[in-house]
Amino acid sequence: MRPIKSLTLVTLLAVLLVSCDDFGDLNNDPNNPSQVRTELLLTNAQRSMSDVVGAVNGTLYVQYIAETQYTDAQEYRTVNANFNGWYTGPLQNLQTIIRLNTDEDTRDDVLSGGSNANQIAVARILKAYFYQMMTDRWGMIPYSEALQGRDNFSPAYDLQEDIYADIINELKAAVAQMDGGAGVNGDILFGGDMAQWAAFANSLRARAALRIADANPTLGSAEFADAVSDGLITSDVMYPYLEEANNQNPWFARFQTRTDYAIHETIADYMKGLEDYRILKYANPAPNEIPTGWDGEVTFDLIVGMPFLEDAGNVTNDEISFPGAAIGAGGPAVGEQGAPLPIITVAEMNFAMAEAVELGWITGVAADYYYSGIEASWNQWDVYDAGNFANYVGQAEVAYDPAIWDEKIGTQKWLALFPHGYEAWSEWRRLGYPELTPNPFGVGVDPQIPRRFTYPTSEATINEANYNAAVQAQGPDAPDTRVWWDVN
C-alpha cells in the first residue's frame, strides 16, 4: 500500500502545481491588460474630436442652425459649460501617451503604438488642437499646471496670450521631433501617415497664428508665414464616422427620434438670394414646398429657413427645412449615418492666406486665394459647376473687393465653415463678419450673441483662489466678456 500512497501523493502535488500555474494565468484579464496600449489611447482621444466638430451651440450662435422646440441655447440661456471632461478624457489620454513614450522604464514597452518620437509628436499636436478649442471657448483656462492629477487638484489659470504662444510652439516642436520610425497606430485620421500629421500641425499653427492677428500681429505674422512655408494640407481633413451606432455622425443621431434643429433662416435666405448651390446640400426641402409629382431635384425655392420666434412651436415640421443629409442630418431615417464632418479644410486655408496677403504677412494675390477658397468649398460639397460658379462669384455681393476685404473674407469663410460651429463662432468674433442680428427673444433687455462660455460652477468653490484670479485678470465671468484675441 505504501508505494500506492506515495504515487498518489506525487500525483496530487503535480496537480496542485499545475493548478497554481493555471490560477496565475487566470489573474491576467485579456480585456484589462496591465500594459497600456497607447494606440487605444490615441484612438480614444481622436474620437473626442467629434465633440468639437459635431457640437451644436456654436452652430446656433452663428445662425447656421435654429432650434425648433426647446430654444434656451439659441436664446443665450445656456452659456455655462463644464470643461472638466476635456481634461479627464482626451487630454489625459494624450498626456499618458507622452509620459509612457518619454519614461525610460516604459518607452520600450509601448512601441506597438509607433516610434516613441512619433507618438509624442502626434499627442502634442492633438493636445494643442483641444487646448485651442477650449481657450477659444472660455478664455483663460488651466494650462501649465493642468493634467498633474493628485499632485495638483487646484491648477492656476493661464493668460490666453501665454496659452496661444505655447500652443504655437508645441505644434512647431511636434513636427520637428518626428523621426523616420514607425508611424503611429490607432490613428483614425491619417492611418499613421506622418507627412499628413505634419501638414495638419502646420495648418493648425496657421489657424492659431491668424486668430491672434489683432492681439499679437508680430507673433502671428512670423508663425503664419513659417507654417505656410513648411507646408499646409492639400486635402480636407474630415472626421471619419462609420455606419454603425458607436461611431455615427452626431447630427444623424440627433434626428433618429427628434426634430429639434432646422436650417436657420439667416444662412438659408442669404445663400438662396445669391444662388449659392451649397445650400442645397446644407438643407433639405421643406415638405410643404415640394410640388405634386416632384422629380427629386432640389431647387432654391424648396429651402425654407427657420426664423427666430418667441414660440418656435408655432412652426410645424412641414414648413421648414432640416439640415441636409450631407452632414448626417435630415430628419428621422433620412440622414447619412457615416457622413464625415470637417475638422480643417483647404477652403479655410485659402481664406486664411487671402487674409494674410492683405495683412502683409505673405506675398501673393489675395483675390486669387479668396476665389480658390470659394471653389474649394464648392468642391467639398460636390456642387461645383463652372457656369454656376462663374455666375456666383460674378455677383457684386460676392466679387472680391480689397477695400472691404475683411467683410468679403469673413462672410465667405462663414459660409464655407458650415457646419463647424465652434470654428465659425471664433472667426465671427474675430472678424466681425457677417453682421449677425442677435436673437431678439434672447435673454436680457438687449440680447447679444455670447462672446465666450462661462466657467463651470464648481470652479468657484473647489478652485476658488485660481478662479478669482482669472476673473480678476480677464473680466467678469460673463458671456459678454471678450477673450484676449477678440478685439473687434
Same-domain check for residues 179 and 322: no
Residue 322: domain span: 246-327
Per-residue pLDDT of the chain (488 residues; tens, 9 = 90+): 444 344 344 343 343 333 333 334 444 445 544 578 999 999 999 999 999 999 999 999 999 999 999 999 999 999 999 999 999 999 999 999 999 999 999 999 999 999 999 999 999 999 999 999 999 999 999 999 999 988 889 999 999 999 999 999 999 999 999 999 999 999 999 999 999 999 999 999 999 999 999 999 999 999 999 999 999 999 999 999 999 999 999 999 999 989 999 999 999 999 999 999 999 999 999 999 999 999 989 999 999 999 999 999 899 999 999 999 999 998 777 899 999 999 999 999 999 999 999 999 999 999 999 999 999 999 999 999 999 999 999 999 999 999 999 999 999 999 999 999 999 999 999 999 999 999 999 999 899 999 999 999 999 999 999 999 999 999 999 999 999 999 98
pTM of the model: 0.92
Same-domain check for residues 86 and 165: yes
In this structure, what DSSP letter does residue 441 have? T
Measured CA to CA, the distance from residue 99 to residue 127 in angstroms comes to: 13
Same-domain check for residues 59 and 145: yes
Q: Is there a domain that residue 157 lies in?
A: yes
For the record, the C-alpha cell of 235 comes out as 486635402
Last residue of a domain, one of 310, 327, 344: 327
Q: Is there a domain that residue 19 lies in?
A: no
Measured CA to CA, the distance from residue 453 to residue 44 in angstroms comes to: 25
Using alpha carbons only, give the angle 386, 389, 392 rounded to the nearest 5 degrees: 155
Q: Is there a domain that residue 381 lies in?
A: no
Same-domain check for residues 44 and 191: yes
Cβ burial 419-434 (10 Å sphere, 16+ → b, else e): bbbbbbbbbbbbbebb
Measured CA to CA, the distance from residue 399 to residue 327 in angstroms comes to: 27
**Amino acid identity for residue 6 in this structure:** S
Q: Is there a domain that residue 382 lies in?
A: no
Q: Is there a domain that residue 403 lies in?
A: no
Same-domain check for residues 171 and 276: no
Instruction: Count up the domains in the chain and report the number.
Output: 2
Q: Is there a domain that residue 72 lies in?
A: yes
Same-domain check for residues 275 and 304: yes
Same-domain check for residues 273 and 296: yes
CATH number, position 200: 1.25.40.390
Last residue of a domain, one of 286, 308, 327: 327
Measured CA to CA, the distance from residue 219 to residue 252 in angstroms comes to: 40
Last residue of a domain, one of 327, 350, 374: 327
Same-domain check for residues 250 and 224: no
Same-domain check for residues 313 and 217: no
Same-domain check for residues 183 and 253: no
Q: Is there a domain that residue 42 lies in?
A: yes
For the record, the C-alpha cell of 423 comes out as 470654428
Same-domain check for residues 173 and 204: yes
Same-domain check for residues 103 and 138: yes
